[in-house]
Amino acid sequence: MIYFDYAANTPVCEEVLQTFCTVSRDYIANPNSPHPLGLAAKERLNQATEQIAGILHVKEDEIIYTSGASESNNLAIKGAAGQYKAYGKHIITTWLEHSSVNGAMAALQNQGYEIDYVDIDENGLVDLEHLKELLRDDTVLVSVCYVDSEIGIHQQIGRIAQILAAFPHCLFHVDATQAAGKIPLEIENVDLITFAPHKFYGLNGCGVLIKKENVLLEPQIHGGISTTPFRNGTPALGLIASAAQALKLAAEGMETRYETVAGLNRQLRDAFKKYPNIRVNSTNQSVPFILNISIKGARAEQFQAELARRGICLSTKSACCAPNTPSRAVYALTKDRRAALSTLRISLSHRTTQEEITALLTAFDSCYHQFVK
């Protein structure tokens, strides 16, 4: 089997896995316990936190550990909305967001919050003028993904933050799950940042929420002391230490990995030009790790299933989206429902080989002539 679904999950790096095993074996106590073994575990946790803070240029006490990016997004969005509802109940987001953001927005809407969706332009970037029009005195939160999980569009986070600076009661949340460990993060003026290490060769079961020190959150889990009053539960030391290791390795190899993947992405784009029924949805603002296409006249699930039968594993949309539904991100970009129903997402890695690219293109060509009439 050949893997082209790295946006959904990445294989754990051996060094990261070894860190998890070593820490889990050597530190058996709860880091919150006051005895010597607990204090040793606490010291190791602090080392991991210091490492993450140094890489991301944030303060150690701004880091909150969760079970994954979905929990981090829910805590950031619901926690901020609940804490600051006295200032208003208006929230702005985009149609490009992950389902853990959309789901949190839907839950808040059921509680009486007003959710507006900002337009995106032909390149998939947030329409900054429309954002300015939507912002109000009672806007308490704007949530925009750094890189979306289906088309891979890299948003202008710094410019959005500049606009929001004029609204002192409005927080800025950025889901950086598809960006962390892959591209440099510009988060100096962002209030809440979320990501998970399993997207950059870390382990599943751990997530990170950066909450700037002047921001408060309404906890979503109650009871059980932890590293912060905003998210309770026993710290998962092995996962936290492995997350720090994954981030360290990703940061050290970021530029080389990016250039490798960019070359593979260009090769696929060039190859798809010969197919008249192929539309490349990823724009010139997309990161190279994700290449999204629509196939006119084909059913995406059928095409994907046949590729899988031939040993090629890729997705139609984000792995967290419901099957047989149009891609909300592609529809927001193209305004074409048929295009949004016929999407394939090819997500790449620095581990992807030339032989794997050749196998993908060979299988794709056969499927295209089988299903596209």
Residues 44-94: tens digit of each pLDDT: 999 999 999 999 999 999 999 999 999 999 999 999 999 999 999 999 999
Q: Give, for 330, the enclosing helix (H) or strand (E).
A: helix 328-334
Domain check: are 330 and 265 in the same one?
yes
| 219 phi/psi in degrees, rounded to 5 | -60, 145
Whole-number Å distance between alpha carbons of 117 and 199: 26
What is the distance between the terminal CA atoms of the chain, rounded to a whole angstrom? 28
Whether residue 273 is found in the same domain as residue 227: no
β strands within 80-148, DSSP E: 90-93, 114-117, 139-143
217 and 279 both lie in a single domain: no
Establish if 7 belongs to a structural domain: no
Number of domains present in the structure of the chain? 2
Q: Are residues 270 and 151 in the same domain?
A: no
Q: Which of 230, 252, 274 is the last residue of a domain?
A: 252
pTM of the model: 0.95
Q: What is the CATH number of the domain that holds 229?
A: 3.40.640.10
pLDDT category of residue 324 using cuts at 50, 70 and 90: low
Is the Cβ–Cβ distance between 23 and 44 less than 8 Å?
yes
* Closest listed residue to residue 145, CA positions, set 344, 318, 346: 318
Question: Mean pLDDT in the chain?
Answer: 96
Report if residue 226 sits inside a domain: yes
For residue 245, the model assigns a pLDDT of 98
Q: Last residue of a domain, which of 252, 275, 310? A: 252
Q: Regarding predicted confidence, which is higher, 228 or 205?
A: 205
Q: Decide if 8 is inside a domain.
A: no
Kindly state the percentage of the chain with pLDDT values over 70: 98
pLDDT at 318 over 70: no
Count of C-beta atoms within a 10 Å radius of residue 135 = 19
If pLDDT is split at 50, 70 and 90, which confidence band does 222 have? confident
Q: If you average pLDDT over residues 325-354, what whole number do you get?
A: 95
Q: How many helices (H) and strands (E) does the chain have?
A: 12, 12
> With bands split at pLDDT 50, 70 and 90, how would you rate the model's confidence at 373?
confident
Shared domain for 343 and 366, answered yes or no, is yes
Question: pLDDT by residue (tens digit) across 271-284?
Answer: 999 999 999 999 99
Query: Domain check: are 202 and 314 in the same one?
Result: no
Q: Give the residue from 252, 274, 295 where a domain finishes.
A: 252
Inside any domain, residue 361: yes
Task: For residue 22, give the amino acid letter.
Answer: T
Q: Looking at residues 208-232, what average pLDDT do you find? A: 90
CATH of the domain at 319: 3.90.1150.10
| Phi–psi pair at 147, nearest 5 degrees | -140, 125
Name the least confident of 190-194, 216-220, 224-228: 224-228
Structure tokens at 189: 């003026």
Do 103 and 49 share a domain, yes or no?
Answer: yes
DSSP helix/strand/coil, 167? coil
264 and 191: one domain?
no
What is the CB neighbour count within 10 angstroms for residue 39?
A: 13
**pLDDT above 90 covers what percent of the chain?**
95
| Shared domain check, 267 and 214 | no
Closest by alpha carbon to 181, among 159, 197, 165, 160?
A: 197
Catalytic residues: 320
Q: DSSP letter string over 264-303?
A: HHHHHHHHHTT-TTEEE---TTB-TTEEEEEETT--HHHH
- Give residue 292's pLDDT: 98
Question: 323: domain range?
Answer: 253-371
Q: Who's near 8: CB < 8 A, 6+ residues apart?
A: 315, 318, 319, 347
Q: Domain check: are 346 and 225 in the same one?
A: no
Q: Grade residue 220 by pLDDT with cuts at 50, 70 and 90.
A: very high
| The residue type at 123 | N
Q: What is the pLDDT of residue 321?
A: 56
**Do 335 and 301 have their domain in common?**
yes
Distances from the Cα of 208 to the Cα of 88, 196, 255, angstroms: 27, 6, 23
Return the pLDDT at 229.
Answer: 87
- Of 184, 346, 318, 205, the closest CA to residue 250 belongs to 184
